[in-house]
Amino acid sequence: MNLQGVSYVYKNEELSIEAFKEYRLNKGVVCKKCGSQHHYWLMSKQQFQCVDCRFRTTLRSGTVLQGSKLPYSYFFIAVNLLSKQGNRLTLDEFQKHTGHKYYEPLWEFLNKLKIKLDEQERSLILSTYSDILSKRFRLGLITDNTFPLKAERQLVHAEQPQLERVAAR
């Protein structure tokens, strides 16, 4: 399967947000104000809230996405490409997969990811995404309407075992 097709699986922003939230929960959310690790998800604000002091933490706060306004899906596309190509991934190639128009935000984003994420962390991230994707398929939350073209559905179904192999590494 070509890499462009693989990147399509990661372009669903809703899945990317859910997977990134799950990744954050697995890594542990720490309150910046009191240091507590007890949080719950405020659905109305799309933020974590500390049980002890009620301080709110955004999904991006304290992560490699802090300060970035790029979509969450770019994070998963980049991690997927970095896990396949290592630090040899070029900005032009990343830009082609995302379809993003501007060079500078992608350059900053990709360099930050190359520096901060090692191979083990990349595998953990892709595993989290794969788990969310699998769970949604099992629950019937992803249907043929999610990926309307037959070719897109085949890409998603074909990519799922590959995602699980990456997670098993």
DSSP string, 91-151: HHHHHHHHT-S-HHHHHHHHHHHHHH--HHHHHHHHHHHHHHHHHHHHHT-S-TTTS-SHH
Q: How confident is the model at residue 109 (pLDDT cuts 50, 70, 90)?
A: very high
pLDDT score of 93: 93
Question: Per DSSP, what are the bridge partners of residue 50?
Answer: 39
Q: How confident is the model at residue 11 (pLDDT cuts 50, 70, 90)?
A: confident
Q: How far is CA 91 from CA 11, 98, 123, 163, in A?
A: 18, 10, 21, 23
> Residue 83 has which token pair?
């896990």
pLDDT score of 61: 93
- Per-residue pLDDT averaged across 56-73, rounded? 93
- 31 within 8 A of 57, measured Cβ to Cβ: yes
Question: Could you tell me which residue, 98 or 159, shows the higher pLDDT?
Answer: 98
Q: How far is CA 43 from CA 13, 47, 56, in A?
A: 16, 7, 12
- 166 within 8 A of 130, measured Cβ to Cβ: yes
Q: What is the pTM of this model?
A: 0.77
Distance separating alpha carbons of residues 45 and 47, to the nearest angstrom:
5
Is pLDDT above 50 for 130?
yes
